Amino acid sequence: MQLASHRTVLAGIAIGFCLMAADAGAQARPPSGSERAGESSQVFTRAVVRSFFEEPDGRSYVRLKLLPKAKLPFTVQTFRVVDRALLAGLSEGSSVKFVSRYIDGENTVTSIHAAAECQRFRPCD
């Protein structure tokens, strides 16, 4: 009786591996219409502005303290800014939402705007 139950378990595991292998070999789905046009939905990350600085070669940077919802607990990271005009109206300590991409080997902010400060122990959009 015990040998039969072990065979059943092993058969179930074998079927699971076969299904995983079949899924791994499946073709990637074609991009949807919005992805084809280069318009993927933007995911904003919340942060607090710590500082701004500019390199001698003219590249602008912003240091942002990411909020825990960003899955990095209170991490401060430096981001290159595509256009210095994006930082207009922001000051150190401002609460912001931003979008970044990895461009030319650097984390780069492509969109940033002021946002209402998150209240402790309350959902923040």
**Is 45-114 assigned to CATH 2.40.50?**
yes
> What confidence score (pLDDT) does residue 49 get?
94
> What confidence score (pLDDT) does residue 117 get?
87
pLDDT in tens, 2-43: 555 555 555 555 454 443 444 444 333 444 444 444 445 677
Nearest to 100 by CA among 123, 56, 57, 70: 70
C-alpha 68/C-alpha 17 separation (Å) is 36
Q: What secondary structure, in 3-state letters, does the chain show? A: CHHHHHHHHHHHHHHHHHHHHHHHCCCCCCCCHHHHCCCCCCCCEEEEEEEEEECCCCCEEEEEEECHHHCCCCCEEEEEECCHHHHCCCCCCCEEEEEEEEECCEEEEEEEEECCCCCCCCCCC
> What confidence score (pLDDT) does residue 29 get?
41
pTM above 0.75, yes or no: no
Q: Give the mean pLDDT of the chain.
A: 74
pLDDT surpasses 70 at 66: yes
> What confidence score (pLDDT) does residue 41 get?
63
- Provide the greatest CA pair distance for the chain: 77
